[in-house]
Structure 1
Amino acid sequence: MGKYQELAAQIVKNVGGKENINSLTHCITRLRFKLKDESRANDEVLKNMEGVVTVMKSGGQYQVVIGNHVPYVYEEVMSAAGLSAENMGDSNTSGVFNKLIDVLSGIFQPFLGALAAGGMIKGMLALFVAFNWVTDTSGTYIILNAIGDAIFYFMPIAVGITAAKKFNVNQYVGLAIGAAMVYPTIQLDALAGVGDPLRTLFAGSLFASPVYMEFIGLPVIANNYVSSVVPAIIVVWFASKIQKVARKVIPEVIQNFFVPFFVLLISIPIGLLAIGPVISFLTDLLAAGFNNLMAFSPLLFGLVLGGLWQLLVIFGLHWSVIPIAIIQIGTMGYSTALVGTFGASFAQTAAVAAMYFKLKNPKEKALVIPAVISGLCGVTEPAIYGLSLPKKKPFIFSMVGGAISGAFLAQMGVIQYTMGGLGVFMVPSFINNTTGEAMGAIYAIIAIVMAMVIGFTLTFFFWQDDTVEIMEPTTTTSNGKKEIVMAPLNGTVSALSTAKDEAFATGALGKGVLIHPTEGKVVAPFDGTVVTVFPTQHAIGIVSEQGLEILIHIGIDTVQLEGKHFNAHVTQGQKVKRGDLLVTFEKEAIEKAGYSTETPVIVTNTKDYLDILETEKTSLSSANDELLTALT
């Protein structure tokens, strides 16, 4: 069984089943579903599911927040729902703004990891230059700069591929469109280096444009499309319209070759003749307008953007700002659009750190440390959804820290030279990697301190946890009922948190214990019914007459043995008595094959019980020892 297979199955079930899913993508921490009918999703079930942080609805997306391991859950959900990249077609997002957010997030999310990596490498290189460890003429600099800069320089290619997927165009056609946009000999820099222009269109106006070549007699306005974003997106969208027409006109037997032929032959020339120049004019105006807004009141802009940034992230609306920063870097070589947001994640992280000293619920307290580590790296969703937002005031205090640090950075005129890094890894992006000028990075560090002091201080002194303190449960409950689970194996017992499989160790599947068997025999832990015998016979599910559901999973990753060394003695639906033989397995052979035989015993419906108490024994006999006590 994959680490997140059961979790994925439950997610698919509770979003309304695979037939309710139009499409699925993921970002750093979230599964982003497009559902046919969101009312069919079980919001509360998902929110309270082990392994799910929370659920959000925004931008036409049904977002299930998972955490940093979301890529692995995503793969399992795709498998559980029978989805693939090829059948992720257009979704029915309504509203112009929702559609815009959907398109932008769908295009940028797939290469966000590469973008972050490139930004971190460029930031690291800027640090090297600032410390005079390398010069900008050395081979080391040239190679590292190429590694970090490649994703940014060839951005139209990356965008062409993901936009093609979004608009249902062949992705290699999208690649070809993006590559044509950055083809060296048609860039303005290259054309300007070979002589005077043939003529200048709109001479003397804001839109003056040199023409160095013609295409079938039509003037081609020269532009630099390297590092650009929007032209490639629009050209691929235009190509999708041509593709639809071509598929209707061209006989199916020759479509594989002639549809791409006509799509490329029409879309790229029109892209270079009309779409590219128009979009370049508009993006230049947008960048100028943004700079004028910043010039009008940097402090006010930084204050508002820094304060509201986390709200924008919650609703997925930050995608309306990120492309502006990418456009700025592509057109000007630097950006100011996102500078004011830098301190927000640190304010959030510090607020959550302060909560550690005030929280009464041990389970909530245990979430703080991983949330702080994640937050310092720039991923704040676990902190927001798991801790500060439900408590309200800490979230508001973090917004104050983000606002003040944002106003400081904007007022000091800090410039961002690269994109990609998050959290502490974003600091080097404020260093000019050509000159090594590092004052922006110093201001960024001051902003970190400022944001964290404000977030921590306000939360520590002005927030109190109103949760009733949770007491340790006793062996009886308000109604005095409990159910006993006997040991299904002989062996030694240890905490479930020590399991080698993260899904079990984190409790995502439910509470339980880990048994290290001394013999290869599993017996029924109570009277009940077998509800599941996995085809590979390495795991079995059984429910008691009172409704307690137990999963016995023999070994870790033993599903890969495909049933070898396992022998089930019961079938699905069979009634069993305590002590009846369920499964036998060849312990030594499994271990010799390189697999652990440690066996998680999990109460899969843990949430139906007040608590699950574990045995205090370290050595078990399946005939005589109590393993778990379920309190109701």
Structure 2
Amino acid sequence: MDYQSLAKKILAGVGGKDNISHFVHCATRLRFKLKQPELADTKALKQLPEVIAVVNSGGQFQVVIGNQVNEVWEAIKALSGEGTNSPNTASETETQSREKTTLLARLIDIVSGIFTPFIGVMAASGIMKGLLALAIACGWLTDKSGTYQIWYAASDALFFFFPLFIGYTAGQKFGGSPFITMVIGGALTHPLMIQAFEASQSASGVKEYFLGIPIIFINYSSSVIPIILSSWVSCEIEKRVKLRLPLAVRSFLTPVVCLAVVVPLTFLGIGPLATWLSQLLAEGYELIYRFAPWLAGAALGAVWQICVIFGLHWGLVPLIFNNLAVLGQDSMLPMILPAVMGQVGAVLGIFLYSKDPQQKALAGSSFSAGIFGITEPAIYGLTLPLRRPFIIGCVAGSVGGAIVGFAGSHSYSFGMANIFTLIQIIPSTGIDSTVWGAFIGNALAIMIGCVGTYCWGRSVGTSLPTTIAETSPPEATVSDEPSSSIILTPLVGQIVQVEEIPDPTFSGGLLGKGIGILPSKGEVRAPFSGTVESLFLTKHALGLRSDQGVELLIHVGIDTVKLAGAPFTAHVQEGDRIHPGDLLLTFDCQAIIDAGLSLVTPILITNSDDFGEVDCLASGEVTEQQPLLLIKA
């Protein structure tokens, strides 16, 4: 993927760098705050092959990229300049736009802006905590061992010093100096303050005062709301103080005023008030959860992915943090996991029934990404466009969530909802019924999603409407019954056995039986009479269907999708009728080699399960249009 080229196209699509107030990224999305959202060209962005989807929701213009979002973000940041991430220089147009934004949209924008910069390390810390809990439960480690203590410090450091990290990102989000708000977070977790808290909780109950005002000491480690409110106050004071101080002393007197005012104000008022609010939220959530845990799980499992589509899930994330900080555990994250697994099951069902090579490949990659909590490729690329699989996935998530809620499963650390969440729900007492309930609920979510999609998810459509031809030409006479046929060589070159293809997706037979060819000539010609079923947007691969019902994938090179179509020229279109020897594609062999990519071209029968055997008829060097594969009925 050419990140610089893509970054330029995205910048143009969002209305140029001057239209960006600020932007961040999460696991798969670029999240823009635009000064004038109407200037964005959503249609043009959606047509980019590297863009999975475009969503305008929650006050954010979101461009879904996938796993390479960080590289794209870095490229955009380099092109747009440092000022893009500084929302404290809002224009009049932006201010008017902000006034029109709903309160919920502003809240979601604030929360996502604060937490997304370190969402990856939060997930990693949670996974490490889960693995340590598993090690303790299995007797591999003890909590007194040096190994455990070092790894626990690594996994707990982020959460213990949460106010520092949130202080930095909150300062950025609210348009102030992130280092001032970070210092405020440091004051909340300073050892002197923790010692004062412990002393206030002792039998003697030591009282301390600030200028005669009694101080309520609270342990702010792992807290969320106090530092967010304090950061907002600090940034508002900073903006006003800057306007009144001479330029010569502004750089050091502004922090002095902010720290001297906000830190005492936090310990005297903001902190206790925010802590009371945190406890109120946690107790309110627990009251609702205890009323009907299974109903809460069913509701979360059903609607979570819908919230993800519109970016509304960030409105629930603070509740998870708050539950962990106040209660030491959270029931929401385990009930969300079945919603993820329901979509994972749905794409597995699509993978099993699909005969379209592009759709099958996308389903395979979406399944593996979904297992690790990245569901955007599955949702935007497959289940949502096909509609019924998405609904089945939500139903599966609801059933699984109800079981998890009924089992009373809790998470003891934060993380993205993925397969590792199952180890984050192990309590300190070891594996119990709450853990087994979570396993059963998520296993059922995958099974229901998979079986339901396989059996009932096909009637709405089984191909991607944006890339696969929906009609067949009238002259094509495709047989519904498979029969024996011969596939001719589509390329000139050297035979490569399928198990030697340098890509596990192809060599492992996931997409079907076949062979590989290392081409010596940059031409792909038709190996039989039939039709062009699909042509990839980047023209590096195409799907063909013979008159005998054989479905063939020709994928020129390995990972050549990264070249964005540059070395390829298509001589056919989707739906075209083809005959043996017709020129289908031409490509520049040297350009692919210079890009550091393999030229080995998989030639696979994607519906090989419909046939008895697939035998290779050639070896060594092959020329044009000689017998290559024998397909037996």
Q: With structure 2 as the length reference, what TM-score do the two structures score?
A: 0.74
Matching of residue 151 in structure 1 with residue 158 in structure 2: yes
3-state SS of paired residue (1:34): strand
Q: From 195, 201, 218, give the equivalent of 2:213.
A: 218
Q: Distance in 1 between matches of 2:298 and 2:289?
A: 12
Shift of 1:83: 4.8
Q: Distance in 2 between matches of 1:335 and 1:369?
A: 32
Q: From 381, 402, 410, give the equivalent of 2:405.
A: 410
Q: Distance in 2 between matches of 1:332 and 1:86?
A: 35
Q: From 415, 440, 443, give the equivalent of 2:437.
A: 443
Counterpart in 1 of 2:147? 140
Counterpart in 1 of 2:535? none
Q: Distance in 1 between matches of 2:562 and 2:430?
A: 48
When residues 261 and 393 of structure 1 are mapped into structure 2, their CA distance, relative to the original with a 3 A threshold, is same
| 1:311-359 residue CA offsets vs partner (Å, 9 max, x unmatched) | 1111111111111111111112111133211111111011111112333
Shift of 1:70: 0.6
Q: From 190, 193, 196, give the equivalent of 2:204.
A: 196
Q: From 387, 401, 404, give the equivalent of 1:392.
A: 387
Determine if contact 1:501/1:556 at 8 Å carries over to the other structure: no
Shift of 1:142: 1.0
Determine if contact 1:554/1:598 at 8 Å carries over to the other structure: no
Q: Distance in 2 between matches of 1:553 and 1:23?
A: 41
Determine if contact 1:376/1:423 at 8 Å carries over to the other structure: yes
3-state SS of paired residue (2:21): strand
Matching of residue 173 in structure 1 with residue 180 in structure 2: yes
Residue type of the partner of 1:81?
A: S
Shift of 1:381: 0.5
Matching of residue 299 in structure 1 with residue 299 in structure 2: no
Q: Distance in 1 between matches of 2:82 and 2:313?
A: 27
When residues 313 and 61 of structure 1 are mapped into structure 2, their CA distance, relative to the original with a 3 A threshold, is same
Residue type of the partner of 1:103?
A: I
Matching of residue 330 in structure 1 with residue 385 in structure 2: no
Point out 4+ residue stretches in structure 1 off by more than 4 angstroms. Answer: 83-86, 88-92, 465-475, 490-502, 550-558, 595-599
Q: Distance in 1 between matches of 2:181 and 2:43?
A: 40
Determine if contact 1:24/1:31 at 8 Å carries over to the other structure: yes
Determine if contact 2:567/2:592 at 8 Å carries over to the other structure: no
Determine if contact 1:130/1:438 at 8 Å carries over to the other structure: no
Q: Distance in 2 between matches of 1:513 and 1:67?
A: 24
Q: With structure 1 as the length reference, what TM-score do the two structures score?
A: 0.74
When residues 370 and 254 of structure 1 are mapped into structure 2, their CA distance, relative to the original with a 3 A threshold, is same
Determine if contact 1:358/1:465 at 8 Å carries over to the other structure: no
Q: From 372, 382, 389, give the equivalent of 2:367.
A: 372
| 1:471-529 residue CA offsets vs partner (Å, 9 max, x unmatched) | 79999x99xxxxxxxxxxx9854995899996xx2256226449xxxxxxxxxxxxxxx
Shift of 1:76: 1.4
When residues 100 and 474 of structure 1 are mapped into structure 2, their CA distance, relative to the original with a 3 A threshold, is closer
Q: From 434, 449, 454, give the equivalent of 2:448.
A: 454
Matching of residue 51 in structure 1 with residue 50 in structure 2: yes
Determine if contact 2:238/2:258 at 8 Å carries over to the other structure: yes
| 1:349-376 residue CA offsets vs partner (Å, 9 max, x unmatched) | 1111111233354322221111000001
Matching of residue 317 in structure 1 with residue 312 in structure 2: yes
Q: From 346, 351, 354, give the equivalent of 2:341.
A: 346
Counterpart in 1 of 2:118? 111
Equivalent positions of 1:67-86 (< 5 A) are 67-83=66-82, 86=85
Shift of 1:443: 2.0
Matching of residue 3 in structure 1 with residue 2 in structure 2: yes
Q: From 167, 191, 194, give the equivalent of 1:160.
A: 167
Q: From 265, 269, 276, give the equivalent of 2:264.
A: 269
Shift of 1:35: 1.7
Determine if contact 1:6/1:509 at 8 Å carries over to the other structure: no
Q: Distance in 1 between matches of 2:301 and 2:118?
A: 25
Counterpart in 1 of 2:25? 26
Matching of residue 509 in structure 1 with residue 564 in structure 2: yes
Shift of 1:86: 4.9
Q: Which moved more, 1:216-225 or 1:330-339?
A: 330-339
| 1:383-406 residue CA offsets vs partner (Å, 9 max, x unmatched) | 000000011111011111111111
Q: Distance in 1 between matches of 2:42 and 2:413?
A: 38
3-state SS of paired residue (2:352): coil
| 1:72-116 residue CA offsets vs partner (Å, 9 max, x unmatched) | 111112223335565354664412111110000000000101101
Residue type of the partner of 2:280?
A: L
Q: Distance in 1 between matches of 2:597 and 2:288?
A: 63
Residue type of the partner of 1:56?
A: V
Q: Distance in 2 between matches of 1:171 and 1:292?
A: 36
Residue type of the partner of 2:50?
A: G
Determine if contact 2:86/2:172 at 8 Å carries over to the other structure: no
Q: Distance in 2 between matches of 1:501 and 1:460?
A: 29
Equivalent positions of 1:281-300 (< 5 A) are 281-300=276-295
Determine if contact 1:307/1:399 at 8 Å carries over to the other structure: yes
| 1:198-244 residue CA offsets vs partner (Å, 9 max, x unmatched) | 5xxxxxxxxxxxxx211010011121111000100100100011101
Determine if contact 2:351/2:363 at 8 Å carries over to the other structure: yes
Equivalent positions of 1:546-625 (< 5 A) are none
Q: Distance in 1 between matches of 2:445 and 2:255?
A: 52
Determine if contact 2:558/2:598 at 8 Å carries over to the other structure: no
Determine if contact 1:556/1:597 at 8 Å carries over to the other structure: yes
Q: Distance in 2 between matches of 1:223 and 1:303?
A: 36
| 1:507-563 residue CA offsets vs partner (Å, 9 max, x unmatched) | 56226449xxxxxxxxxxxxxxxxxxxxxxxxxxxxxxxxxxx998986899xxxxx
Counterpart in 2 of 1:428? 423
Q: Distance in 1 between matches of 2:246 and 2:123?
A: 44
Counterpart in 2 of 1:186? 193
Q: Distance in 2 between matches of 1:471 and 1:110?
A: 40
When residues 417 and 157 of structure 1 are mapped into structure 2, their CA distance, relative to the original with a 3 A threshold, is same
Residue type of the partner of 1:79?
A: A
Determine if contact 1:555/1:598 at 8 Å carries over to the other structure: no
Shift of 1:248: 1.6
Counterpart in 2 of 1:35? 34
Shift of 1:37: 2.3
Shift of 1:46: 1.4
Q: Distance in 2 between matches of 1:598 and 1:302?
A: 47
Determine if contact 1:161/1:172 at 8 Å carries over to the other structure: yes
Please, which runs of 5 or more residues in structure 1 have no aligned partner? 199-211, 479-489, 515-549, 559-594, 600-617, 621-632
| 1:549-587 residue CA offsets vs partner (Å, 9 max, x unmatched) | x998986899xxxxxxxxxxxxxxxxxxxxxxxxxxxxx
3-state SS of paired residue (1:221): coil
3-state SS of paired residue (1:57): strand
Identical positions, percent: 34
Shift of 1:169: 1.8
3-state SS of paired residue (2:24): strand
Determine if contact 1:7/1:508 at 8 Å carries over to the other structure: no
When residues 391 and 139 of structure 1 are mapped into structure 2, their CA distance, relative to the original with a 3 A threshold, is same
Residue type of the partner of 2:312?
A: L
Shift of 1:465: 4.8
When residues 511 and 233 of structure 1 are mapped into structure 2, their CA distance, relative to the original with a 3 A threshold, is same
